[in-house]
Amino acid sequence: MDLKSGYPFWAVRNGLMHAYPALQDDLHCEVLVVGGGITGALIADHLAMHGHDVAVVEQRDIGWGSTAASTALLQYEIDTPLHELAARYGLDDAVLAYRACAQAIDQLGELAGALHGTDFQPAQSLYYASRRRDLAALIEEFELRQQHGFAVDWFDAEGVRSHYGFDAPGAILSDKAARVDPYRLTYRLLARLCKHGGRVHDRSAVEHIEAHPRHVLVRTTAGAHIHCRQLVLAAGYANQHWLHQRVASNRSSYAFVTDPLPAQALGALRDTLMWETARPYLYLRSTADQRLLVGGEDDAIDVPARRDAQVDRKARRLAAKASPLLGGLPVEPAFAWAGTFAETADGLPFFGPHPQWGPRVQFAMAYGGNGITYSMIGAGLLRATIEGKQHPLARLFSFQRLG
């Protein structure tokens, strides 16, 4: 599956950071992780750091799927607002999910601090009302978050104008967010995995899986056999290939990054992520080298050739939308791209076993706008599942909620 179009900035900036050997011989391990993107890397590293024997296989080069196209806004705010999630699953579960995402940002910060060179930077997050009719729901969202201990501030229209220099009916400012280079983070995690005895093989595609009561047998397209006690499928949107049940819808999202800008031109975006209430939403952040990264214009296109043809037009539309948020500053894309992402009906991920495969095949489907924070949560959730322990989010993030 071709997951990206154009020139994803992370791949252009970093190049191929390391080539791992393709798997040629049979392999035995305790846990096999299929997928060498940011989700697979976070899970593999977490398991290895807790004493598990882990191997990773990836069908492309490491980080070359959706990770290279990720815009990596790290937020605790889920695409589904807290008040809507509470109406759907109850307030306790909704707050639990939001708090877990907030904790995941702290965990990612600790992880990045230990690894170095990932461009991780704490930030704030400004969630603004796109239209006046969105204001009542945004105020309800603010009040509910405040009631449950989230550090948030409210800005009315005058406050948005004076602090951020653009017009919006109102906005919520959250103090917990971050940015990162997801491609570098993936490579740093897998380098640490290998240093601790783990194995990584790219250009090694899985073509067959057999789940048995005490083990799982995996065969690659090259004919290598992998025997493992637990299998984690962290292959992003390719995970759907292994399920008869459709659990998400694939969509395309578009993004661009500018050349480096003067600090004064970025303004608040130097340390604040911005996104809006409209769906699909516009979102902006800066990079470590003072570029502006803008994304959005999501659509239902799931055909690579059609998506390719949209990149330049979508980048121009995004630039036109971003300019008023920077005081009318002309915004020129330097690199523009599009990527496939999957969207669940409720904005939540799926982690854990599926009835189709039994208890030894774990799915890691960190779908939605919170993919990286979800993956950090999923790493702990899957470790608990593998170790036979309870996790507070195991039920909410499981396939059980599909009914």
C-alpha dist (Å) from residue 162 to 20, 166, 243: 51, 8, 51
Give the separation between CA 93 and CA 389, rounded to whole angstroms.
19
Percent of the chain, pLDDT > 70? 99
pLDDT at 271: 96
Residues 211 and 206: their CA atoms lie apart, in Å, by 14
- 200: domain CATH number is 3.50.50.60
Question: Do 344 and 320 form a contact (C-beta atoms < 8 A)?
Answer: no
Residue 4 has a pLDDT of 56
Do 20 and 199 contact (CB within 8 A), yes or no?
A: no
Report the percent of the chain where pLDDT is more than 90: 90
Q: Give me the pLDDT at residue 103, please.
A: 98
Would the pTM of this model clear 0.85, i.e. be above it? yes
Q: What is the pLDDT of residues 264-320, one digit of tens each?
A: 999 999 999 999 999 999 999 999 999 999 999 999 988 888 888 999 999 999 999
Inform me whether the pLDDT recorded for 95 exceeds 80: yes
Q: Which of 49, 72, 55, 69 is nearest to 20 (CA)?
A: 55
Mean pLDDT value across residues 147-151: 98
Residue-number span of the structural domain to which 62 is assigned: 4-69+183-247+347-402
Mean pLDDT throughout 362-380? 96
Look at residues 176, 157, 175 and name the one whose alpha carbon lies nearest to residue 165: 157
Residue 87 has pLDDT above 70, yes or no: yes
Residue 88: inside a domain: no
Tell me what the mean pLDDT of segment 95-99 comes to.
98
Q: Burial, 394: exposed, middle or buried (Cβ in 10 Å; 0-12, 13-18, 19+)? A: middle
Same domain, 339 and 254: yes
Are 168 and 254 found together in one domain? Answer: yes
pLDDT of 221 reads 98
What was the pLDDT predicted at 5? Answer: 62
User: Between 91-115 and 82-89, two packed helices, what is the crossing angle to 10 degrees?
Assistant: 130
Same domain membership, residue 261 and residue 168: yes
> How do residues 187-196 score in pLDDT, each as one tens digit?
999 999 999 9
Q: Is the pLDDT of residue 212 over 90?
A: yes
Cα dihedral sign, 396-385-371-116: positive
Asked if 148 and 254 sit in the same domain, the reply is yes
Q: What share of the chain is helix, strand, coil (3-state, %, to 5)?
A: 35, 25, 35
- Examine the pLDDT at 7 and tell me if it is beyond 90: no
What is the structure's pLDDT at 341?
Answer: 84
**Domain-ending residue, one of 343, 358, 390:** 343
CA atoms of 71 and 337, how far apart (whole Å): 10
**277 and 336: one domain?**
yes
Mean pLDDT of 79-101: 98
Both 14 and 137 in one domain: the answer is: no
Q: What is the reported pLDDT for 303?
A: 82
Whether residue 74 is contained in a domain is answered as no
Among the candidates 321, 343, 365, a domain finishes at: 343
For residue 1, pLDDT over 60 is answered with: no
DSSP-derived secondary structure for 256-324: EE-S---HHHHGGGGTEEEEESSSS--EEEE-TTS-EEEEEEEE----HHHHHHHHHHHHHHHHHHHGG
Same domain, 243 and 254: no
Please provide the DSSP assignment of 122-155 as one string. Answer: EEEEEEE-SSGGGHHHHHHHHHHHHHTT--EEEE
The domain boundary, picked from 296, 325, 343, lies at 343
Mean pLDDT, range 243-257, rounded to an integer: 94
Q: Which two tokens stand for residue 135?
A: 């204001």
Average pLDDT score, the chain: 95
Q: Look at residue 238 and tell me whether its pLDDT is greater than 70.
A: yes
Contact 277, 137 (CB under 8 A): yes
DSSP secondary-structure letter at 333?
-
Q: Are residues 258 and 327 in the same domain?
A: yes
Do both 259 and 160 map to the same domain? Answer: yes
Residue 60: pLDDT over 80: yes
* Averaged pLDDT, 216-227: 98
Number of domains into which the chain is organized? 2
Chain segment 121-140, per-residue pLDDT in tens: 999 999 999 999 999 999 99
* Of 238 and 216, the one with more pLDDT: 216
pLDDT the model gives residue 242: 97
Asked if residue 360 lies in contact with residue 231, where contact means CB atoms within 8 angstroms, the answer is yes
Read off the pLDDT band of 72 (50, 70, 90): very high
Looking at the structure, tell me whether residues 157 and 294 fall in a common domain: yes
| Residue pLDDT, tens place only, 29-55 | 999 999 999 999 999 999 999 999 999
